[in-house]
Structure 1
Amino acid sequence: MWTDALGNAVTLDSGAALSAVDDFALGFIASEARAANVLAAAQADGSPLLQAYAAAVHLFAESRGAAGSARPFLARAQAGAARATARERRFIAAVAAWIEGDTARAIALHEEQAREHPRDLASLKLGHYHLFNRGDSPGMLRLALAALPAAADVPYLHGMLAFAWEQCHALEAAEASARRAIAMRRKEPWAHHALAHVMLTQGRLTEGHAFLAEVSDTWTGLNSFMVTHNWWHQALFALELDRADEVLGLYDRQVWGVAKDYTQDQVNAVSLLARLELAGIAVGGRWQDLADHLAARTQDQVLPFLDLQYLYGLARAGRTEAEVLMRNIETHARTSDNPVWRQVALPAARGLLAHAQGRPAEAVDALGQALPRLVEIGGSHAQRDLFDQVYLDALAGSGRLGGAQHLLQQRCRAQPQSRRLRRQARGLYGTLGLASAADTLLAP
């Protein structure tokens, strides 16, 4: 019997597999690319946990074909499960539930693992992934807190805890946990990410921009999602500060082009281009290059949060695949066991498509149905804010200026450092015949 780097007993065919187990477990919680090393190791070693880890890596492709790629590894894991520990068998069962689409079962297993084996932080991180995609922030917090007494020495747990606190709107606790993680290990990109969320939410735009610039030298060896997503956050700070050239440069150099075939890199790109356009900044031919990669996503329907952004990107590029994806979303919404597709994702998709195609009144009506429950499609507050921005733009574009002012004024009050919002608000107040009152309305 061997022991992994976090102190968990592991069943291996040979000691040579231990480094691959550690690469996955530590690489996954540290957002490092070395987690994928388990794929090569799983070809040479039949250790059940190693096979389950490899299956999980394939499932992170978040595509229609991911389950098929993962099944052979899961089958080998299950074949060897009788000689594995209870902890390993539970992880294998959680991956099996994920493959079958039973994320409720997977979450329950990860919660049990956190109670029974709180130093299995790879299991905890995977539980966070599923909970995040369901919009269950309290579940994320509960899971991280369960592990805290036994794993407080691990900086990555504090980073996970920070994000859970932030998504539960406990911003002060989130900042404390993030700073504790960073004090323990400066290279803790998930803690950087959580603290960026806090600073954005609190309107600390200049401070947030400076903070990410200061720690960005540590973003080496990360998986493509983590590095592009942290740069995406830096781009959000720059956009609020009205630094258009910087945002476009970050898009071209840091956000898009690292792994153009990966789902998360694609939605980062869609979200940033959409925000640039909503801020009145021309993006040139960037939609076309992005849409060339989104076109392969029309049949995915894995996570509604992803499909909605694929749809918007394809529509903004004027691609016929947008209509194909819309029809596939409609079909999936009718047949899926998950009511979120029908009750939330479908009206949201109709609204986003209408906005992208220049029908703002339709966009308002459809998005208005979805927004109150949008948390259920997953994504973070910062990511889902795109849909609120689209709704606000649709209100203004359809002539519902009172509603637009109601929302935009609140945003300006919450983000007094945002030059983008102030510029947009002055334009709206000019249209409303209130240009002379704008200074009073926008006073801090």
Structure 2
Amino acid sequence: MIKDLQGNSISEASADAVDYYNQAVAAFNIYTGDPFSLVSNAIEDSPHFAMAHIFKAYLLGLATEPILNGYAKDTVRHLKTLHLSDREASHLGALDLMLHGEWTAAALVLDIHNSNYPLDIVALQAGHLMDFYRANARNLRDRLARVLPYWSNNVPGYSVLLGMYAFGLEETGDYDRAEETGRKATELQPRDCWAHHAVAHVLEMQGRVIDGVKWMSTREKYWSEEDNFFKVHNWWHRAIYHQELEQNDVVLSIYDNHIRHGNSTVALELVDASAMLWRLHLDGVDVGDRWDELADCWQTHADGHSYTFNDWHAVMAYLGAGRDIDAEQILKDCKKINPDPKSEMQQWTQKHTLPLIEGFIAFWRKDYQTAIEQLYGARFIANSFGGSHAQRDIIDLTLIEAAIRAGQPELARALANERLALKPNSRLNQGFLARSKSWAVSGIQ
């Protein structure tokens, strides 16, 4: 029987189709190349190749884009007509749940799947991304910890697991081991941009800004290649370091030449762009008409229910571009919660996304008290929804800015102290504390 590179059994596939499939998976592992075209070649060669269809459905569904989610559902419907092995049927169960907004249930299915098939790298990476999208820091770490004893450097893809494990360690605050593991992963596979980004997160969370710029610049040739799908997010990380160094001209250059170079309509890249412009706005930087182009690109992605972390970032762009009607429409769409039973995505929308959207709208309209009321509770979403600690930090940045502008220096100082306890050398955090003290003394914003 034919097997994949990690030794998992493959059925209904020719040797050529399996070769295409292995190339596609390897490309996806380091977010480089064109895995979709490669797996499409595998399917064209062997139409009943179930794992190829499963992999294609993950590629589509994990993009968190409404149109692609629909295509993934079509692929799942086709999969249900094929004869599936137990491993393939387990994948199908996870896919079906994920594509209907039940991300945690899907991730738990893959927990059991990974226990039964610890060398299934597609399941491990798909599960890792599900853990990321729902911000489950513990499972970002432990999904890998449960299977790593089965792996070694003799198994293709071992470095990829180390890169994922490094990110899980970082998100759970184990920074020393995260950095060590991430650096080891990049030594084994220099082009692993996920492992690189895990180390970038460590340096960000520890406030090691100069180290961060050096890490990004010395390894730029590995993570910034044209065919690297993850390059925009790594450029975002580099821009964050430069903003901390008060080099906003450099940040704008990175935004124009890398984050929005080519006017991408990929949702994950639009999230980075929205967050970057919002951070610059909080810092008092005039971003000109950059909001307008970005808002146009959000039109096909923000629908109020597919992945509402995206909707929140679309609202930022609409507010910046002065498109209040579009921002209000997303708010309206997010409020269209069906009666019981609510899907997990609908619960996320109700519990997390609505307060974030309402808080950011209030902040933009200078209703700072409402912004404080909405965002203070909404910031406690770690381990339940939406991205990394670094991505969610925009909530706290907006909250503390609202407190300063609302004339609440005691709250602003408390929040600044909270941040300085973690990153005492941060220019942004020191600035928040200084402004809160200045307001308390003078009463002037």
- TM-score, reference length from structure 2: 0.91
Query: Which one-letter code corresponds to 1:144 in the other structure?
Result: L
Checking the alignment, whether the CA contact within 8 Å between 2:144 and 2:164 is kept in structure 1 is: yes
CA distance in structure 2 between the aligned counterparts of 1:286 and 1:133, rounded to whole angstroms: 27
Q: In structure 1, what is the Cα distance between the partners aligned to 2:245 and 2:36?
A: 37
Q: Post-superposition shift, 1:434?
A: 8.0
1:438 alignment counterpart? none
Answering whether residue 419 of structure 2 is matched by residue 411 of structure 1, we say yes
Which secondary structure state, in structure 2, belongs to the residue aligned with residue 69 of structure 1? helix
- Is contact 2:4–2:22 with CA below 8 Å preserved after alignment? yes
> Is 1:257 matched up with 2:251?
no
- Whichever residue aligns with residue 390 of structure 1, its letter is T
Specify whether residues 377 and 393 from structure 1 end up closer, same or farther in structure 2 by C-alpha distance, changes over 3 A only: same
User: Which residue in the other structure is 1:66 paired with?
Assistant: 68
Please say if 1:80 is aligned against 2:82.
yes
Partners of 1:185 and 1:224 in 2: how far apart?
14
Residue in structure 2 matching 1:193, options 193, 197, 222: 197
Per-residue Cα deviation, 1:12-55 (whole angstroms, up to 9, x for no partner) = 33222112211232122212233222134434431111111112
**In the alignment, structure 1 residue 379 sits paired with structure 2 residue 408:** no
Using a 3 Å threshold, how does the CA distance of structure 1 residues 378 and 25 change in structure 2: closer, same or farther? Answer: same
Deviates more, 1:180-189 or 1:390-399: 180-189
Choose the corresponding residue for 1:281, options 282, 285, 300.
285
**For 2:427 and 2:376, how far apart are their aligned partners in 1?**
27
Contact 1:63–1:300 at 8 Å: present in 2 too? no
Residue 163 of structure 1 is aligned with which of 148, 167, 170? 167
Determine the C-alpha separation between the residues in 2 that align with 1:412 and 1:381.
Answer: 16
Amino acid at match of 1:433: V
Opposite residue 269 of structure 1, the aligned amino acid is: A
Q: Partner of 2:63: helix, strand, or coil?
A: coil
* CA deviations over 1:160-190 (Å, ceiling 9, x no partner): 0000111111111211211221222222211
- 1:401 aligns to 2:409 (yes or no): yes
Q: Which moved more, 1:389-398 or 1:367-376?
A: 367-376
* Amino acid in structure 1 at the alignment position of 2:40: L
Q: CA deviation at 1:222?
A: 7.0
Match among 303, 315, 320 for residue 316 of structure 1: 320
Which of 203, 207, 219 is the aligned partner of 1:215? Answer: 219
Aligned to 2:56: 54
Per-residue deviation, 1:223 = 6.1
Matched, 1:337 2:338: no
Q: Aligned letter for 1:161?
A: Y
Is 1:240 the counterpart of 2:244? The answer is: yes
Paired residues of 2:400 and 2:432 also in contact (CA < 8 A)? no
Q: TM-score, normalised by structure 1?
A: 0.91
Distance 2:302 2:109 in 1: 31
Distance 1:193 1:252 in 2: 21
- Please point out which of 323, 326, 333 is paired with 2:331: 326
Change in 2 beyond 3 A, CA 1:20/1:221: farther
Change in 2 beyond 3 A, CA 1:152/1:296: same
Question: Which deviates the most, 256-265 or 216-225?
Answer: 216-225
Larger mean CA deviation between 362-371 and 386-395 belongs to 362-371
Amino acid at match of 1:328: D
Distance 1:184 1:284, change over 3 A: same
User: Does the CA-based 8 Å contact 1:33-1:221 persist in structure 2?
Assistant: no
The 3 A distance-change label for structure 1 pair 91 and 337 is closer
Partner of 1:181: 185
Q: Which residue of 2 aligns with 1:89?
A: 89
Which residue number corresponds to residue 134 of structure 1? 134
Which residue of the partner structure matches residue 441 of structure 1? none
The amino acid of 2:354's aligned partner reads L
Contact map agreement 1:256 1:269 (CA 8 A) in 2: yes
- Report the more deviating stretch, 93-102 or 208-217: 93-102
Shift in alpha-carbon separation, 1:134–1:261, aligned structure 2, 3 A: same
* Alignment RMSD (CA, Å): 2.2
> Contact 1:33–1:223 at 8 Å: present in 2 too?
yes
Q: CA deviation at 1:65?
A: 2.7
Give 1:96-115 correspondences, 5 Å limit: 96-115=96-115
Q: Is the 8 A contact 2:54 2:91 kept in 1?
A: yes
- Shift, 1:72, TM fit: 3.0
Amino acid at match of 1:398: A
Q: Once structures 1 and 2 are overlaid, which stretch shifts more, 145-154 or 203-212?
A: 145-154
Distance (whole Å) between structure 2 residues aligned to residue 334 and residue 360 of structure 1: 32
Offset of residue 410 of structure 1: 3.7
Give the % identical residues. 25
- CA drift of 1:381 comes to 0.2
CA contact (8 A) 1:345 1:377 kept: no
Counterpart in 1 of 2:40?
A: 39
Amino acid at match of 2:34: R
Could you tell me which of 304, 309, 315 is aligned with 2:308? 304
Secondary structure in 2 aligned to 1:377? coil
Task: Give the stretch that moved more between structures: 91-100 or 137-146.
Answer: 91-100
Q: 261-270 or 292-301, which moves further after superposition?
A: 292-301
Quote the Cα distance in structure 2 between the aligned partners of 1:45 and 1:373: 44
Partner of 2:124 in structure 1?
A: 124
Deviates more, 1:73-82 or 1:344-353: 73-82
Unaligned stretches of 5+ residues in structure 1? 436-444
Q: Which protein has the bigger helix share?
A: 1
C-alpha separation in 2, matches of 1:34 and 1:66: 16
Alignment of 1:364 onto 2:372: yes
- Opposite residue 61 of structure 1, the aligned amino acid is A
Within 1, Cα distance between the matches of 2:313 and 2:108?
Answer: 29
> Using the alignment, how far apart are the partners of 2:282 and 2:101 within structure 1?
35
1:389 alignment counterpart: 397
